[in-house]
Amino acid sequence: MLPPFYVLIRTPSVLQHCDAHHTPVPYGPNGSRHLRSRSTRIFMRCKLRRARLMPDNAHAKVEQQTPQAQLMHMATAHWVSSVVYVAAQMSLADHLAEAPMTAADLAQSTKCDASSLYRIMRTLAGLGVFTEDSDHRFSLAPLGEALRTGTPGSVRSAVLFLAGSLNTQSLGRLHYSVQTGKTAF
C-alpha cells in the first residue's frame, strides 16, 4: 500500500501537465494515478531509512501517552507542518547557513515582521529545526540542514509540495469527499 501523502489525481489535463515533472504510477480503478516527484521519492527513501535505523523502543514514548494526549497530538500536527512549510518557503535555513542571526536580522533579509518571525523561529527551535542561544541568535540544527536549498539530502522541495496549498486545500475538503465519494479538488 502506498503512503497517504501521494497526490491522487484523476483529471487527464492535470496528468498531462504533471507528466513533465513527475513520474506517474498507475494505481487503482478509473485510471487514477499517484504522482511522485523526485523530491518525494527521496523523502520516502529517507523516511524508510530512518524507520530501519530506529531502535525498537523508539515508539515507547508515544505508547506511554494517554489516548487523549495522542489524539491532541494528532489534531495539532497540521500546525507543525504549517510552521515547517513557512520555514521552507522563506528559505530560513539558507539564511542561517552562513552564520547565526537574530530574528530582527533575519526579518530584514526576508522582509517580514520581526516579532512574528521571532515566534515562528522559537517554535522551530522547539521542534529541533533551529537552535537559539542566550543572545537570541538562531542557528541551524542538524534537522534544519535538510531544509537548505541545493544540498545533498535536502527535503525542502518535498516540504513545499507536501505542506503546500494543493495538499492542504484538498485535505480541507476531505469530509466532502468521504460524504459524497467525489474528489476534493
Indicate whether 174 belongs to any domain: yes
**What pLDDT does residue 149 have?**
95
Q: pLDDT class for 100, splitting at 50, 70, 90?
A: very high
- For every residue of 143-176, DSSP letters joined together read HHHTTSTTSTT--HHHHHHHTSHHHHHHHHTHHH
46 in a structural domain? no
Give domain status of residue 49, yes or no. Answer: no
Query: Within 90-155, where are the H helices?
Result: 92-98, 103-110, 114-127, 142-145
67-84, pLDDT tens digit by residue? Answer: 999 999 999 999 999 999
In a domain, 53, yes or no: no
Q: What CATH number should be reported for the domain holding residue 167?
A: 1.10.10.10
Angstrom distances, CA of residue 171 to CA of 25, 46, 83, 127, 128: 21, 24, 17, 24, 26
Could you tell me the residue range of the domain that residue 174 belongs to? Answer: 77-185
| Packing angle of the helix pair 77-89, 67-75 (nearest 10 deg) | 30
Query: What is the model's pLDDT at position 113?
Result: 96
pLDDT(106) > 60: yes
Four-CA torsion 7, 10, 11, 15, nearest 10 degrees: 60
In a domain, 96, yes or no: yes
Is the per-residue pLDDT at 96 higher than 90?
yes
Where is pLDDT greater, at 58 or 103? Answer: 103
Task: Domain count for the chain, please give it.
Answer: 1
Note the pTM of the prediction, 2 decimals: 0.64
88 within some domain? yes
Residue 84 lies in a domain: yes
> What pLDDT does 63 receive?
60
* 129 part of a folded domain: yes
Which residues contact residue 175 at a Cβ distance below 8 angstroms, ignoring those fewer than 6 apart? none
